[in-house]
Amino acid sequence: MPKTSVHKISSKKLTLTDLAKINEGTVTIELSGEAKAKIERCRTYLDNKLKETNRPIYGINTGFGSLYNKHIPSSQLEKLQENLVKSHASGTGPEVPEEIVRLMLFLKVQSLAHGYSGVQLATVQRLADLFNEDVLPVVYEMGSLGASGDLAPLAHLSLPVIGLGEVTYQQNKFSGEAIHHKFQWSPLSLAAKEGLALLNGTQLMSAYGIWCTLHAHRLTKLANIIGALSLDAFDGRKEPFLPQVHAIRPQKGQVETAKEILKILEGSELIEQPKKHIQDPYSFRCIPQVHGTSAEAIDYVSNIFMIEVNSVTDNPNIFPEEDTIISAGNFHGQALAMAFDFLAIALAELGSISERRTYQLIAGVRDLPNYLVANPGINSGLMIPQYTAASLVSQNKQLCTPASVDSIVSSNGQEDHVSMGANAATKAYRIVNNLYSILAIELITAAQALTFRRPMKTSPYLEELIHNFRAIVPFIEDDRMLYEDIRKAEQFLKTWAPE
């Protein structure tokens, strides 16, 4: 994908809009003069400190974890850092998706550029080079406990800096050595503290968090739009969305969702026609209460992740201005783990209520045919897509089992409470993708049901949506292979601009 803009790494706080652009893969990054000065000042301070003192400084001239009491002579400090990166590259399982790895690289550069980590400027620049050239290290999902940072994944991210590991470039795999040869780079020698700075940090969790958050905001909009379409296709009532209802229970998300649904339905003939029924099922009537609560949870989670990506999360932290080096715990992912667990619940609920609307639409009620085909029996219509949605909803419920309440002692008891935030992250990622599938099935179903309401029309906004969607997924006259329709509908939801 061509690079169309440049992002300057500086002390300016990142916004979700900045990260959305980074996530598109069309941005190159440059270290600002300010960032370079901070990085070099911290490195110079650390080098001078090591010359002045022989006292143990955790992770700089000592071993790691429970080996913190092992002093390392100055002649072996570089080897210590190289060994750390190699030994910690112990990940397994599926490869982390490239879009997540790209964000990891960016976030690691951003964190190191604050100037509290003691790394060499050349090391940060090499990470930026990997990002800019789309040379993406091969990282594995499993191995992080989400405390001491994302050690194993970040070790894999860092291996190419020293000419090791594997990368993906232009859809091909290269060894670290081969990619250095291709770009005429020289492997870097890590100075004291650098390996620990690269491996400590929450960049795996944070990258998943930003990706999931960006999609969660999109999915909330899509759930409201598709929910409104389903309501109209079901011949539902608009009274549960009227403002006086929500004024007497002014939960923020509920109020905003009700207002949005009414706006989406403006100009609909269907919503204004006289109704035979006096009440709708909860999956329609309670859209404001359910969708709105998820929206508020997503806003909370967004705030947690935005704080994180503007923070320094390695250890120890170096404060040149105060002439101090502090070993603490900013790498601990508890805040992120709980946020992921909350996000998982919020998104799973959007899928749960969506599947119930799908079920209602195919149930053969309110003058709609069974399974939304004109000739049921010879045709199964939309019977089985609802099964698929139910399967996905069930899996999402299983994935909502919280990871943040678990902890397993590691490093010989020194790291005796961990967050399991990386497991929370990969679970949330799966729920996001499942939710796209669930909403795609609801969209197929609602669009199909709407045809049986013709010649009456829904709102102009939703008619435009249907017009665009029908160019991708046509009306189902007779049974066909619906997995193709579902896949096309998923892609439509990921690319259509819901403004």
Per-residue three-class SS string for 77-126: HHHHHHHHHHHHCCCEEEECCHHHHHHHHHHHHHHHCCCCCCCCHHHHHH
In order of 65, 172, 209, 362, 421, the CA distances from 92 in angstroms are 21, 20, 20, 43, 16
Distances from the Cα of 421 to the Cα of 146, 202, 293, 438, angstroms: 5, 9, 23, 25
Region of residue 443 (phi > 0: left; psi between -120 and 50: alpha; otherwise: beta): alpha
Q: Which residue do the tokens 């009414």 mark?
A: 262
> Strand pairing partners for 137?
167
Q: Which residue carries 């949005």 as its tokens?
A: 260
Report d(CA 437, CA 433) in Å as an integer.
7
Of all helices (H) and strands (E), which one includes residue 31?
A: strand 27-31
- Token couple for 233: 């296709």
> CB–CB of 372/449 below 8 Å?
yes
Report CA 252 to chain centroid distance, whole Å: 24
Q: Quick check: is 58 catalytic?
A: yes
Which CA distances in Å does 383 have to 218, 286, 370, 435? 28, 25, 9, 19
| Count of beta carbons in the 10 Å neighbourhood of residue 276 | 8
Report the alpha-carbon distance of residue 131 to residue 104 in Å, rounded: 9
Residue carrying structure tokens 């250095």: 180
Q: Which of 45, 58, 116, 371 is catalytic?
A: 58
213: nearest Cα among 287, 285, 133, 309? 309
Distance CA(346)–CA(284), nearest Å, equals 18
Return the number of other C-beta atoms located less than 10 Å from residue 407's C-beta.
17
Which residues are tagged catalytic? 58
